[in-house]
Amino acid sequence: MTLYKNRDKFSSLSIRIGEVFSELGLTPNQWTFMSLVFAVISVYFITQYSFLLAGIFVLITIFLDVVDGSVARATRKSTTKGAYLDTVVDRYVEAILILGLLVITLPMIFFPASIWLFLYFFGSIMTTYVKAAAKEKDLTKKEIKGGLIERTDRMIILLVGIFLASLSIYYLAYVVVLLAILSNITVLQRIGIALR
């Protein structure tokens, strides 16, 4: 399911996106921070229960995550600091969207929605943490990748849930449950990879 395995298929498209958007004169870091702005706008519409508009702005946020890296490669401005900043902002974007979901009233599915949202948030953070911790403790030489779902997968699943919420908010609640479960399974998979 993880999209990172198919990144090579999108490399030519990424180059083209980078060429087009680099013409606008913004730096890769400026594109990165712009995704934060659109995430906040998305949350506003989520809190208004305007899920169609929220979904559109989440889609733009996801697209901007492609743009920053594409512009960096197209303009040969890829840096370690830029990649680090991009990773940090990505986590903020996801946290901001989860915060927006905490504000609204989602239906209870076995447990209150707040429990599922916490598990989703915890799983998303731990997916990154177990990777960093394994490298810090010298359990692995290479960066751990893979598992059931990564950040891009989570964002796309969440996007689908937000769009479906315009039909029924129950769809979004079920998507949150799915994300809570799958993200934590991914954590366990990565722990297994590190310990092997």
User: Catalytic positions, please?
Assistant: 90
Instruction: Report d(CA 82, CA 31) in Å as an integer.
Output: 11
Beta-ladder partners of 109: 111
CA distance readout (Å), 187 to 59, 120, 190: 25, 11, 5
User: Which residues, 6 or more positions from 46, have their beta carbon under 8 angstroms from its beta carbon?
Assistant: 54, 97, 100, 101, 103, 104, 162
∠ Cα 34 38 154 (to 5°): 105
The total of other beta-carbon atoms located within 10 Å of residue 35's CB is: 24
